Amino acid sequence: MRTELKQGHAHVVCLAGNPNVGKSTVFNRLTGLRQHTGNWTGKTVAPARGLWKREGTTYEVVDLPGVYALSGGTPEERVAAEFLDQESPDCLVVILDATALERTLALALELLPRHENLVLCMNLMDEAERLGLHLNCAALSEALHVPVVPTRADRADSVERLRSVIEAACLRREGEQRCAERPDVGGITTMTAAERMQAASELAGVVCSAKAASRRNWDRLLLGKWTAWPVAVLLLFFVLALTVWGANLPSALLEQLFSGLGTWLSTLLADASPVLQSLLLDGLYGTTAKVISVMLPPMLIFFPLFSVLEDLGLLPRLAFLLDRPFAACGACGRQGLCMCMGCGCNAVGVTGCRIIPDERERLAAILTNALVPCNGRFPTLILLAGILLGQNGQLRPLAAAALLTGFLMLSVAVTMGSTALLRRTILRGGSGTFVLELPPLRRPQLGQLLVRSILDRTLRVLGRAVTVAAPAGILIWTLAHVQMGAETLLPLLARWLNPFAALLGLSGVLLLAFLLSFPANELLLPLTVLIGTAGAALTDGGNPTASLLALGVGPQTALCAAVITLFHWPCSTTVLTVWHETRRLKWTVLSVLFPTAVGCLLCMALHLGFQIFG
Amino acid sequence: MSRNMAELRAGERGWVCALRLSPLRAAPLLRLGLFPGTEVQCLLRSPLGDPTAYRFRGTTVAVRRGDAAQIDVRAEPDAHNPVRGEEAPCAQN
């Protein structure tokens, strides 16, 4: 894709607009699958790029981060302003929200004097129609002397006209027949922000004739005094239950498939030396296959579900609910959003902390993000939940999901406590504000959502897991096969760790597995089985629950293991991300030590409790 | 008579007349268009009492009580400095 973008001459088309105006939908429809740098949230600071081709000409589309203005107050605004200054796009498309014209128009007025080839896209026309709004695009076009193209959220082909208008605008610029100097409409070049808003307001009054009918007010249920919390917990439970229940079968199928493939591979390698055969099959292939079959199905269910919640506009509402308790901890509700992202992947959660404007609050959110279990830890937690519930191998999804919800709520409580601790000690002082737009609830674009959540999230996270799983598989195989006296290294290391592990209520095998799964949390389960069985083949589709039970993991150990799974050092990718985000060794080291200390202390307390009362 | 924005009850409207916030705290609100003259409607409070959702310029925005208390609103639009809100200022107040 990169080389494709570099080849030959391409017209650069830039998309700008407020957050929550359906900008990424327009971007996805313009470019289809031909894009890279997917957005996790609308808050990715690096712009996403994509392209389309027509009649031998390439149009490269750059999706700028959503901004309210260009004054440079936020990282997104600086990125957008810098991009416009430095790359001077051939055409600048400003996306307007037909249902909130006034405010989205203010940005258009700010951008109008900055670019001579501007196109306005009046998005969400279908929603405006439903609200009984009548928009006069021709009047807007006449007032501002720029093309105005209406688009709809419910029809994918509605961007066709936008595409041809952009193409025409680009060609016009190429032919140096610059559009006639636009008159300085009402003196917008010299307006202050307040005057611009006033002008936008007046213009919106001309363009939009009717008053909006009220929307169906789901917020009464979602944010109501008595209903909000039960609905939020039920929703969380529902997502987890669906993930646990849905992942069971495909996981088993994948394991069968991989074990079949393993047999086939072993016939291919029949001539190789036994050591090489074992290294490649048991080490490399076995670990990788295990990671994929354990990780892929829950991700394929969890990520699209998460995207649905995101596209519906539920995440800002969660921040709205959580702001009060977070404020009590010296943080803000936006941290709740970062935690949600951390639920998918902690590295993403750490990057997502950019949405927190206050520097100290942001650092506290970064340091505590790993206290939320990421997707890679879910399989382990599900399995441990099974053991805790005494379901040997037979997982009852509802009970497991309920326990998993409990685990998550514990993690939220510990995150809040830790944030409060950090904000009262090393990150004391200065409290930021909390101002957050609650966008209207919108029906998600399901097709687009599926494609994007699979391409951008699932495959990316899986790819990362596999790249670490493969070398880790070789390392572990080596540890399992290098002889030290009568034994191989793995059981030896596990025995060394036994005394310390006992303090935490764990076994040496489990602790070693936790240590070795530093590259990726997804490795934990396969590692435990591997170490426990001292390096026997993994491709036999061994049941991890059975292996754990065979290792003598009872309910008490399982509980301690669950606590350590929730609270321990972040994976290597996350640590690297913390370094990228803070650029300070101090914070990077602390991001490892802090969650580790939390987990160890909790486990020791738990273990002590078991010894006294158990 | 002017009140502050935090005193608006759910459903009540007001017209912003002054922001007594530091520039740093006012910036995110101004970015969303909460200039003096803007019509604001209090929608609902978070179940735990804070923050509160306000509606202005066609969008809904959550603002904390501490910030809202520093924003003065009047019961009627200022005749000398009218800013048209999402709905035309009406005579219901």
- A607 falls in which pLDDT band (50, 70, 90)? very high
DSSP designation for A65? P
Query: Which of B48, B50, B78 is the best substitution to test chain A (most A C-beta atoms within 10 A)?
Result: B48
A201 part of contact set with chain B, CB < 8 Å: yes
Classify residue A156: in a domain, yes or no.
Answer: yes
**Residues 58 to 97 of A: which have CB under 8 A from any B CB?**
68-69, 71, 73
User: Do A232 and A203 sit in the same domain of this protein?
Assistant: no
- B87 falls in which pLDDT band (50, 70, 90)? very low
A180 is in which domain, residue-wise?
2-207
Q: Among A71, A100, A224, whose Cβ lies nearest the Cβ of B58?
A: A100
Query: Which of A18, A21, A436 is the best substitution to test chain B (most B C-beta atoms within 10 A)?
Result: A436
Last residue of a domain, one of A173, A207, A241: A207
Q: In this predicted structure, what is the pLDDT of residue B93? A: 33
Q: Among B31, B64, B86, whose Cβ lies nearest the Cβ of A68?
A: B31
Q: Which residues pair with A479 in a beta bridge?
A: none
Q: In this predicted structure, what is the pLDDT of residue A585? A: 95
User: Do A191 and A60 sit in the same domain of this protein?
Assistant: yes
DSSP per-residue string spanning A231-254: HHHHHHHHHHHHHHHHHHHHHHHH
**Residues 417 to 476 of A: which have CB under 8 A from any B CB?**
433-440
How close, in Å, is residue A149 to chain B by CA atoms? 21
Q: In this predicted structure, what is the pLDDT of residue B82? A: 53
B10 part of contact set with chain A, CB < 8 Å: no
Q: In this predicted structure, what is the pLDDT of residue A540? A: 43
Range B25-43 average pLDDT: 91
Classify residue A439: in a domain, yes or no.
Answer: no
- CA A233, A234, A238: angle at the middle one, nearest 5? 120
How close, in Å, is residue B74 to chain A by CA atoms? 19
Residue A325: helix, strand or coil by DSSP? Answer: helix
Per the structure block, which two tokens stand in for A6? 């570099």
Q: In this predicted structure, what is the pLDDT of residue A543? A: 62
User: Do A375 and A496 sit in the same domain of this protein?
Assistant: yes
How close, in Å, is residue B91 to chain A by CA atoms? 16
User: Do A166 and A37 sit in the same domain of this protein?
Assistant: yes
Residue with the bigger pLDDT between B80 and A42: it is: B80
- A533 falls in which pLDDT band (50, 70, 90)? low
Residue with the bigger pLDDT between A303 and A175: it is: A303
Q: In this predicted structure, what is the pLDDT of residue A567? A: 96
Question: So what CATH class is B2-74?
Answer: mainly beta
B69 part of contact set with chain A, CB < 8 Å: no
Classify residue A368: in a domain, yes or no.
Answer: yes
User: Do A419 and A518 sit in the same domain of this protein?
Assistant: yes
Interchain pair A198, B37: CB under 8 A: yes
- Computed over every residue of chain A, the mean pLDDT equals 84
Instruction: Provide the residue count of chain A.
Output: 614
Interchain pair B53, A219: CB under 8 A: yes
Residue tagged 């687009």 (tokens): A448
Which residue in chain B has the smallest CA separation from A334?
B62
Range A43-53 average pLDDT: 73
Residue with the bigger pLDDT between A430 and A225: it is: A225
How close, in Å, is residue A303 to chain B by CA atoms? 27
Range A13-35 average pLDDT: 85
Q: Are A80 and A107 in contact (CB under 8 A)?
A: no
Classify residue A577: in a domain, yes or no.
Answer: yes
Determine which helix (DSSP H) or strand (DSSP E) holds B19, and give its type and residue range: strand B13-19
How close, in Å, is residue B17 to chain A by CA atoms? 13
Classify residue A144: in a domain, yes or no.
Answer: yes
- A181 falls in which pLDDT band (50, 70, 90)? low
Boundaries of every domain in chain B: 2-74
Whether the per-residue pLDDT at A403 is higher than 80: the answer is: yes
Q: In this predicted structure, what is the pLDDT of residue B61? A: 94
A232 part of contact set with chain B, CB < 8 Å: no
Contacts of A297 (CB under 8 A, 6+ apart): A246, A247, A248, A250, A251, A254
Classify residue A74: in a domain, yes or no.
Answer: yes
Range A438-459 average pLDDT: 81
DSSP designation for A17? E
How close, in Å, is residue B12 to chain A by CA atoms? 16
Interchain pair A433, B87: CB under 8 A: no
Q: In this predicted structure, what is the pLDDT of residue A79? A: 83
Query: Which of A77, A110, A320, A435 is the best substitution to test chain B (most B C-beta atoms within 10 A)?
Result: A435
User: Do A56 and A203 sit in the same domain of this protein?
Assistant: yes
Q: In this predicted structure, what is the pLDDT of residue A184? A: 66
pLDDT tens-digit series, residues A160-177: 999 999 999 888 776 655
Interchain pair A212, B35: CB under 8 A: no
Residue tagged 């591997």 (tokens): A530
User: Do A482 and A572 sit in the same domain of this protein?
Assistant: yes
Interchain pair A102, B86: CB under 8 A: yes
Q: In this predicted structure, what is the pLDDT of residue A280? A: 87
User: Do A294 and A182 sit in the same domain of this protein?
Assistant: no
How close, in Å, is residue A351 to chain B by CA atoms? 21
ipTM > 0.90? Answer: no
Spatial CA neighbour of A600 closest among A414, A409, A363: A414
Query: Which of B20, B29, B35 is the best substitution to test chain A (most A C-beta atoms within 10 A)?
Result: B35
Could you tell me how many CB contacts below 8 A there are between chain A and chain B?
A: 120
Query: Which of A192, A214, A324 is the best substitution to test chain B (most B C-beta atoms within 10 A)?
Result: A324
Q: In this predicted structure, what is the pLDDT of residue A406? A: 92
Q: In this predicted structure, what is the pLDDT of residue A335? A: 93
User: Do A191 and A300 sit in the same domain of this protein?
Assistant: no
Q: In this predicted structure, what is the pLDDT of residue B45? A: 93
Residue A156 φ/ψ, nearest 5 degrees: -65, -30
Cα A65–chain centre separation: 16
Q: In this predicted structure, what is the pLDDT of residue B85? A: 38
B11 part of contact set with chain A, CB < 8 Å: no
Spatial CA neighbour of A133 closest among A101, A94, A95: A101
Which residue in chain B has the smallest CA separation from A199?
B83
Q: In this predicted structure, what is the pLDDT of residue A230? A: 93
Interchain pair B51, A324: CB under 8 A: yes
How close, in Å, is residue A556 to chain B by CA atoms? 36
**Number of structural domains found in chain A:** 2
Instruction: Report the C-alpha gap between A135 and A566 in whole angstroms.
Output: 52
Classify residue A48: in a domain, yes or no.
Answer: yes
B35 part of contact set with chain A, CB < 8 Å: yes
B39 part of contact set with chain A, CB < 8 Å: no
Per the structure block, which two tokens stand in for A51? 């392209």
A233 part of contact set with chain B, CB < 8 Å: no
List the single range of A204-213, B31-40, B80-89 with lowest mean pLDDT.
B80-89
Q: Which residues of A406-435 are buried (b: 16+ CB within 10 A; e: fewer)?
A: ebbebbbebbbebbbbbbeeebeeebbbbb
Which residue in chain A has the smallest CA separation from B60?
A438
User: Do A234 and A144 sit in the same domain of this protein?
Assistant: no
Range A370-384 average pLDDT: 88
DSSP designation for A135? B
Range A34-52 average pLDDT: 60
Interchain pair B51, A226: CB under 8 A: no
Interchain pair B28, A433: CB under 8 A: yes
List the single range of A53-57, A320-324, A366-370, B40-44 with lowest mean pLDDT.
A53-57
Which residue in chain A has the smallest CA separation from B23?
A73
B84 part of contact set with chain A, CB < 8 Å: yes
User: Do A188 and A240 sit in the same domain of this protein?
Assistant: no
Percentage of chain A lying above the pLDDT 90 cut: 27
A211 part of contact set with chain B, CB < 8 Å: yes
For residue A43, give the CATH number of its domain.
Answer: 3.40.50.300
Percentage of chain A lying above the pLDDT 70 cut: 89
A21 part of contact set with chain B, CB < 8 Å: no
DSSP designation for A66? P
A314 part of contact set with chain B, CB < 8 Å: no
